[in-house]
Amino acid sequence: MPQSLANVLVHIVFSTKERRALLQNRDLRDEMHRYIAGISANLECPAIIVGGATDHVHLLACQSRTITLAE
């Protein structure tokens, strides 16, 4: 029985405007990372890791087979 397997990893980087250090509060930054991971999970693209610094956020997620990259 044929089957197709896919494992597409997507690395997305969000930056603050003009790379300003707006994410200095550690608690706020951690809460935002959890929020982004939740959004990713709702899209059936589970986050592998979410992190970043005071001026940007990295998201590494597994691309779902049911959603296009453009979505």
With a cut of 50, list the residues of the chain below it in pLDDT.
none
pLDDT in the model for residue 19: 94
How do residues 5-24 score in pLDDT, each as one tens digit? 888 999 999 999 999 999 99
pLDDT in the model for residue 65: 83
pLDDT in the model for residue 39: 95
Residue extents of the structural domains in the chain: 8-63
Instruction: Find, among 54, 59, 46, 58, the residue nearest to 28 by Cα.
Output: 54
| Pick among 3.40.630.30, 3.90.870.30, 3.40.920.10, 3.30.70.1290: CATH of 8-63 | 3.30.70.1290
pLDDT in the model for residue 1: 64
